[in-house]
Amino acid sequence: MSFTASSPPSASRVMPTSIMNPPSTPLGNGGAGSGPNSTGADATEIRGRERQGSFGGSTKAKILKPFNTANIKILLLENVNETAVSTLRAEGYQVETHAKALSEDVLIEKIRDVHCIGIRSKTKLTKKILDAAEKLGVIGCFCIGTNQVDLEHAAQKGIAVFNSPFSNSRSVAELVIAEIVLLSRQLGDRNIEMHQGIWSKVSANCYEIRGKTLGIVGYGHIGSQLSVLAESMGMRVLFHDVVPLMPLGTSKQVGSLDELLATSDFITLHVPETPETKNMIGEHELKTMKQGSFLINASRGTVVQISALANALRSGHLGGAAVDVFPKEPAANGKFFESELVGCPNTLLTPHIGGSTEEAQSMIGVEVSQALVKFINYGTSIGAVNFPEVDLRAIKDEENSIRLCYTHSNVPGVLRQITNILADHNVDKQFSDSKGKIAYLMADISDVTPEQIQDIYRRVSETPTNIVTRILY
Ligand SMILES: NC(=O)C1=CN([C@@H]2O[C@H](COP(=O)(O)OP(=O)(O)OC[C@H]3O[C@@H](n4cnc5c(N)ncnc54)[C@H](O)[C@@H]3O)[C@@H](O)[C@H]2O)C=CC1
Ligand SMILES: O=C(O)CCC(=O)C(=O)O
């Protein structure tokens, strides 16, 4: 593709190369129809769309996008909600969907030439898989947890990762409330017996939850929502968290995990998967829990040692457990599930459905797909979990203005290089931030000719600290 002076007057155009190309990708490899003069079917569609941000007053904000959005390939796995599919297709992107997670081999093949991938909790985006991705610029986790992605490696490759921090929190909290009642009344076992034709009317060891103590481990979005719901049902709420947090209602933060375990009738886990939470609940912790108390895990499978839990249930030390997440989960519906917990007394097992409600999935689909569109079209990284968060006011709707998005190594001297490159241009506004080893700079530049755009692109992408350079216009 080449730049000519006769670019269409208001068609959105983007960087001189394909979107999120690796630094080594040569200029102009966008393929047929990807140049600024191309009249891709999406170009007219784009013009009518709502504009990002505003300048106030009557100044028109320019819609920035990759020039030919039909060239952008998005791979959505694990039955990502239709709201996401339609949002992304409405942008003109090519969207391929799969109901299941893919095997590693197939994923490596598929990820090679996509610019964006959307996953839920099953797809592991490891270093090996990320290294196979030649054009990947952004990952959408259509869930809360992001432990399935090698976040640091992604950042080092200039790949931003977005998630939905709280769209399914309420769904998880409601499931846990249901489980507290089910465990307390041994409903799982009664239900199994009835389906086997066994009538077993018992009240021994069945309790109301009113007045009982709920111990929440991890008082974040889910834990705190649960706290409110549990108190409204008459429970006393205690919690343990690594940071001091404002207790909601009459709940109380306790000094240690052991204190919480020793004083609660129900323990529920709502921590992320981290090195610190791996095997957080093992033999010692289960022994510390009260005789006849209950454990609920809807966080991540690695947080609980399954053998120790199975022993505590079979020995009768625990009165029951509800487990939604497992160290090894089948890749798809219909696949065989096995666990030492199968057959344990008063044990509710669910297939990682904490966040699986129509409401949550629909909200997640909208939230994450919008973040992806903003990153692809405008470079906005607000909300990214592994990336510096950068945004700028909308760019003025002027023919010759561009946005430079530069992901680079976070080392001294970079801004001096960029300032030198942009020294003779009119930089309207600029913002830069860093996170760990990488930094991200966004600059809006006006009054640039196509030749100058090429020159800026070339000089910035050739800086030794370059990770990814994009120019949106
Ligand atoms: N079963 C399911 O379908 C779902 C599971 N989840 C899981 O639940 C987890 C929690 O979700 P949110 O409440 O939204 O996360 P959050 O980030 O809002 O809260 C997590 C809390 O855990 C605390 N924490 C971290 N490490 C800790 C430690 N070692 N000890 C004690 N507290 C610690 C944090 O300080 C924070 O307050 C997610 O990371 C995800 O893995 C989330 C949604 C659905
Ligand atoms: O619904 C999913 O696939 C995953 C839910 C979950 O575990 C999360 O949001 O972290």
Q: What is the pLDDT of residues 119-161, one digit of tens each?
A: 999 999 999 999 999 999 999 999 999 999 999 999 999 999 9
Which of residues 131 and 395 earns the better pLDDT score? Answer: 131
Centre of ligand 1 from the C-alpha of residue 219, in Å: 8
pLDDT of residue 56: 33
pLDDT of residue 58: 46
The stretch 71-86 carries a mean pLDDT of: 96
Residue whose CA lies nearest to ligand 2 atom number 1: 355
Q: How confident is the model at residue 303 (pLDDT cuts 50, 70, 90)?
A: very high
Which of residues 65 and 49 earns the better pLDDT score? Answer: 65
pLDDT at 358 over 60: yes
* pLDDT, tens only, 253-300: 999 999 999 999 999 999 999 999 999 999 999 999 999 999 999 999
pLDDT at 401 over 80: yes
- Which ligand 1 atom sits nearest the alpha carbon of residue 223? 13
pLDDT at 321 over 50: yes
Average pLDDT, the chain: 88
The stretch 382-390 carries a mean pLDDT of: 98
Substitution candidate for ligand 2 out of 79, 144, 166, 222 with most atoms within 8 A of CB: 144
pLDDT of residue 59: 60
The contacts of residue 388 (CB under 8 Å, 6+ apart) are 381, 432, 433, 434, 435, 438, 439, 440
Distance CA 338, CA 341 (A): 8
| DSSP for residue 304 | B
pLDDT of residue 42: 30
Please check whether residue 283 lies inside any domain of the structure: yes
**98 catalytic residue (yes or no):** no
pLDDT of residue 66: 65
- Mean pLDDT is lowest, of 21-35, 165-179, 181-195, for 21-35
Whether residue 360 has its Cβ less than 6 Å from ligand 2: no
Please check whether residue 140 lies inside any domain of the structure: no
Which own/partner contact pairs does 254-260 have at CB distance under 8 Å and 24+ positions apart? 254/215, 257/217, 257/285, 258/285, 258/288, 260/215, 260/217
Centre of ligand 2 from the C-alpha of residue 146, in Å: 9
* ipTM of predicted complex: 0.99
CATH of the domain at 329: 3.40.50.720
* pLDDT, tens only, 43-64: 222 222 233 332 334 467 888 8
Of 134, 174, 283, 329, which one is the catalytic site residue?
A: 329
**329 catalytic residue (yes or no):** yes
Whether residue 365 has its Cβ less than 6 Å from ligand 2: no
Query: What is the number of other CB atoms lying within 10 angstroms of the CB of residue 315?
Result: 9
Substitution candidate for ligand 1 out of 122, 257, 270, 349 with most atoms within 8 A of CB: 270
Which of these, 231, 252, 253, 226, lies nearest to 241 by C-alpha position? 253
pLDDT of residue 165: 95
Centre of ligand 1 from the C-alpha of residue 226, in Å: 12
Range of the domain at 238: 169-349
pLDDT at 328 over 50: yes
Please check whether residue 203 lies inside any domain of the structure: yes
The stretch 437-455 carries a mean pLDDT of: 96
Q: Residue 147: is it exposed, middle or buried by C-beta count within 10 angstroms (0-12/13-18/19+)?
A: middle
pLDDT of residue 450: 92
Reported in sequence order, the residue ranges of 313-463 that DSSP labels E, i.e. its strands, are 318-323, 347-349, 402-409, 426-435, 438-446
Whether the CB-CB separation of 253 and 217 falls below 8 Å is answered with no
Please check whether residue 190 lies inside any domain of the structure: yes
Q: Where are the alpha helices (H) located in 133-195, listed in sequence order?
A: 151-156, 169-184, 187-195
pLDDT of residue 62: 82
The stretch 155-182 carries a mean pLDDT of: 97
Please check whether residue 86 lies inside any domain of the structure: no
Whether the CB-CB separation of 371 and 383 falls below 8 Å is answered with yes
Please check whether residue 271 lies inside any domain of the structure: yes
Q: Which percentage of the chain shows pLDDT scores above 70?
A: 87
Of 13, 120, 170, 300, which one is the catalytic site residue?
A: 300
Number of independent structural domains in the chain:
1
Distance CA 403, CA 15 (A): 9
pLDDT of residue 364: 98
The stretch 427-454 carries a mean pLDDT of: 96
Please check whether residue 337 lies inside any domain of the structure: yes
pLDDT at 65 over 90: no
Please check whether residue 375 lies inside any domain of the structure: no
- Which ligand 2 atom sits nearest the alpha carbon of residue 354? 5
Give the phi and the psi of residue 250 in degrees, each rounded to 5. Answer: -105, 20
- Which ligand 2 atom sits nearest the alpha carbon of residue 356? 1
**317 catalytic residue (yes or no):** no
pLDDT of residue 35: 33
405-422: b (≥16 Cβ within 10 Å) or e: bbbbeeeeebeebbeebb
Substitution candidate for ligand 1 out of 144, 257, 296 with most atoms within 8 A of CB: 144
pLDDT of residue 51: 30
Whether residue 143 has its Cβ less than 6 Å from ligand 2: yes
Which of residues 340 and 42 earns the better pLDDT score? Answer: 340
| DSSP for residue 69 | G
- Which ligand 1 atom sits nearest the alpha carbon of residue 224? 13
Whether the CB-CB separation of 423 and 9 falls below 8 Å is answered with no
pLDDT of residue 397: 80
